[in-house]
Each structure stands twice: as C-alpha cells, then as structure tokens.
Amino acid sequence: MKFKLFNVLLFAVIFTGCATLSDRTVNVTEVQLQQKLNERLATPISLLKIFDVNLSNSIVKFDGKTGRMITRLDASLTSLLSDKALAGKLDISGKLRFDAATNSVVLDDPKVESLNLDGLDAKQGEFFNLLAQRLGGEMLNGLSLYTVKPEDLKLGSTQYNPKAMQITDSGLQITFSPVR
C-alpha cells in the first residue's frame, strides 16, 4: 500500500513538473475585450478643446484573415460651437500587440474606418469623418485593452513570458513560454 501511494505521489510530482515546463495559452474573447474597451472609453475624449466625444457600447469582432480587431462603437459628439449633440456610429480597426512592460494587450496601428453622425449634410459628414480619421488613430494608438492576470504569468515558481499572439475568428490567443 505504501509503495502504491509513493508511486502515485511520485507520478503527480513528475506530471506537475512537466506541466509547468510547457507553454501556456490564454484565450481572450470578444466579449472580454468589449467590456474592457467600454471601461477604458467611459471618459469623454476631448478633441482640439472644441469637441467632446463619448464612445460606448463597443462591438468587437476579430478578423483572422487580416489579423485585425474591428470595433463598432456608439458615438456622441458635443461641441462648444453648438448646443446640439450629434449621435452616430464609429468604426475602427487595429492590430493588437502584447506590451510586456505592462503585461497588457494594446491597440496598435488603429485606423478610423468611418464616422457616421446622424443629421449632418454630406459636407459636414465628410469634415467630421476626415477629422476622426486624422485624430482618432493617433489618440487610440497604444490604448490598453486587456491586462493579463498575474496568475497567467506565473505557475508555482515558474515565470512565463509572451511567445506569440494570434487573432482567430473566435478570439485572441496569447501563448506564454516558461522562462528557463
């Protein structure tokens, strides 16, 4: 009986040791990124000290073919020039990268695809779209979207570093390798 118990414990220790030496994968879903993005964008963005932009209700989709995250947001724009608020949709896309300094996934190379605000004529719509494209990418670049939990970076005494990150049609996969 003692011999069997010893073998079981020995096997468990060896198995645990082997498991800690293999790569680990963390999956981040669209819903998780939507929640974090909504939290990050809860504060209005000021543009040129003239416009305040409120972004909310993000809908995140991953495009495995292009490796980009595509996001549609509700947009509300107020201005010192008018007491009328404008509402519509903002579409952005961007690559994602892992920032090892902050252990987070950040938006990289963002591009404002379109800004459609209700109640604007063609010239006004074109002006706001151009403004959004020029300033939006610059303001959103480097935006932290998701911070990896400390327990995903360490198991027992083994520390893990990022190895690869891949966008799939169903989510974001981050692979970590043990530090040897």
Here the contacts of 162-165 (C-beta below 8 Å, separation 24 or greater) are 162/98, 162/100, 163/23, 165/96, 165/97, 165/98, 165/105
pLDDT tens digits for range 94-142: 999 999 889 999 999 999 999 999 988 899 889 888 888 888 888 889 9
Q: What is the pLDDT of residue 20?
A: 46
Domain residue ranges of the chain, discontinuous segments joined by +: 24-178
Q: What is the pLDDT of residue 69?
A: 92
Instruction: Decide: residue 58, CB within 10 A, 0-12 exposed, 13-18 middle, 19+ buried.
Output: buried
Q: What is the pLDDT of residue 107?
A: 93
Model confidence at 50, in pLDDT bands (50, 70, 90)? confident
Residue 76: strand pairing partners:
54, 87
* CATH 3.40.50.720, domain 24-178, yes or no: no
Query: What pTM was estimated for this model as a whole?
Result: 0.78
Query: Given a cut of 60, is residue 177 above it in pLDDT?
Result: yes
Q: What is the pLDDT of residue 130?
A: 87
DSSP state string for 20-63: HTS-EEEEE-HHHHHHHHHHHT-SPEEETTTEEEEEEEEEEEEE
Q: What is the pLDDT of residue 112?
A: 93
